[in-house]
Amino acid sequence: MKKIVLLIAILAIGKSAFTQQAQPAYKASLDSLKIFIDLSKKEAIVNRLVKAHPNESFDQYRAILVDNFIVAKNSEKALYYFNQIQETARIMYVENVTTGLMAYDLKAAETLVKQELNNSTNAKEERLYLLQLYSQVADKLGDHEKAFAAIKECYEQANKKSAGLTAQYYYLMSKTGRYHEALPELEKAVLLGLADDDFKNELKKAYINVHPGKDTNAYLATLTKQFNDKYKAEIAAKMITEQAPEFKVKDINGKEVSLSDFKGKTIVLDFWATWCGPCKKSLPAMQMMVNKYKNDPTVKFLFIHTWETVPNPKPDAVNYLLTHNLDLPLYMDTKDSVTKKNPAVSSFGVSGIPAKFIIDGNGKIRFKELGLLWPNEVAVRQLSTMIELSR
């Protein structure tokens, strides 16, 4: 089961983009790390700059190397550069790094989280966050007793027991065989929409152990229908009817499109930027959305890069998608030389990104979604429901 709620915000990798400080002379070298070049060249750039400027922090750029080595499935190098990051700063990156490692190297993920748990500088909230993360790794490794011990310590010490933390606690309790105690809470989690496929399979296992001979599929279908009916009504209550502005953006080949080009189609606009941590964290879910609707010609997605912090943002955006195996229809909302504003995002009155808009075939905005939707399954369910209600 994937983690539902984090205990700490860890998405500040792009925060420095908001400040207007003087740029160091070596800024161009750091910017080149974002370009899709050989990893050995990126290493050389970082190591050269670290040696030349020993009193300055390059943690953010070490984090770029870590991310790149995870994409390349090189756990040894990923962990090496992660450990070069200051201990007090590593908590910002540990969840993303662990999740990346879990996709192909569970032992490396376990090594990383156990190492950070032994870090004596961690505050209580950070330790609880790491325990929750470790419980997921141990679960994937099949060590359910260790997974439950970790989540139990986290659950018992947490000042606020969120629905997500509670769901994970009883999910792992069930995996240790305590089905009678876990089942009622597993049911609640399904009715709250907190259950992925692994969770639902565990629920069925608990149910059949508590009620031998009963139809588990019918039982789960009943719970799922109850949730879906309630959820659809809640999303429908958020619908609006506002005229969308006649925005204009260009695709990566320079072709300009506007609202009128999509008449009769439901479109999803996603305003994002490469410096924005929450934006990047949301893209895997958006890839799932694009894949889901790829054969539906009536639904179109526009991933609009905006609020650039470099003179030519297109290479950054293109290369970020390439290096993260994301195949998303990319459009550029570049700053107007006269107004100094990004026209598309400004026309929608956006005050922060990521920002998503669902627009129906008549050019009406039906839904606005600001900020990060997480986890991926929740984002896909919510956006899919919005699309279907907007048709």
Residues 257 and 206 in one domain: no
CATH no. for residue 220?
A: 1.25.40.10
Percent share of the chain, pLDDT over 70:
90
- The answer to the question of residue 143 being in a domain is yes
- The answer to the question of residue 121 being in a domain is yes
The pLDDT score that the predictor gives to residue 24 is: 63
Strand-pair category, 330-332 with 299-305 = parallel
- The answer to the question of residue 334 being in a domain is yes
Residues 202 and 350 in one domain: no
Domains of the chain: total: 2
Other Cβ atoms closer than 10 A to 291: 11
- Banded pLDDT at 15 (limits 50, 70, 90): very low
Mean pLDDT, residues 103-112 taken together? 97
- Among 172, 197, 232, give the residue marking a domain's end: 232
The pLDDT score that the predictor gives to residue 122 is: 76
Residues 176 and 105 in one domain: yes
Flag whether pLDDT at 18 surpasses 50: no
Flag whether pLDDT at 19 surpasses 50: no
Residues 268 and 198 in one domain: no
- The answer to the question of residue 6 being in a domain is no
Indicate the pTM of the whole model: 0.71
> Going by C-beta distance under 8 Å and a sequence separation of 6 or more, which residues neighbour residue 51?
none
Per-residue pLDDT tens over the stretch 280-321: 999 999 999 999 999 999 999 999 999 998 888 998 899 889
Residues 19 and 155 in one domain: yes
Other Cβ atoms closer than 10 A to 357: 23
Flag whether pLDDT at 36 surpasses 80: no
Residues 201 and 86 in one domain: yes
Q: Which amino acid is at 181?
A: E
Cα separation of 67 and 100, whole Å? Answer: 8
Flag whether pLDDT at 257 surpasses 90: yes
- Banded pLDDT at 211 (limits 50, 70, 90): very high
The whole domain housing 363 covers: 242-390
Mean pLDDT, residues 262-288 taken together? 95
Flag whether pLDDT at 140 surpasses 60: yes
Percent share of the chain, pLDDT over 90:
71
- The answer to the question of residue 260 being in a domain is yes
- Banded pLDDT at 373 (limits 50, 70, 90): confident
Mean pLDDT, residues 107-127 taken together? 90
CATH no. for residue 338?
A: 3.40.30.10
Residues 73 and 128 in one domain: yes
The pLDDT score that the predictor gives to residue 277 is: 86
Flag whether pLDDT at 198 surpasses 60: yes
Beta strand ranges found along the chain (DSSP E): 242-243, 248-251, 256-258, 266-272, 299-305, 330-332, 355-359, 364-370
Residues 228 and 328 in one domain: no
Residues 246 and 228 in one domain: no
Flag whether pLDDT at 11 surpasses 60: no
Torsion sign across C-alpha atoms 193, 198, 204, 205 = negative
Residues 24 and 73 in one domain: yes
Residues 247 and 227 in one domain: no
Question: Which of 244, 285, 192 is CA-nearest to residue 368?
Answer: 244
Mean pLDDT, residues 205-216 taken together? 97
- Among 232, 253, 279, give the residue marking a domain's end: 232
Least confident segment among 20-24, 146-150, 378-382: 20-24
- The answer to the question of residue 5 being in a domain is no
The pLDDT score that the predictor gives to residue 5 is: 32
Q: What is the DSSP letter of 167?
A: H
- The answer to the question of residue 327 being in a domain is yes
Residues 224 and 318 in one domain: no
The pLDDT score that the predictor gives to residue 273 is: 96
- The answer to the question of residue 211 being in a domain is yes
Mean pLDDT of the chain: 89
- Among 187, 211, 232, give the residue marking a domain's end: 232
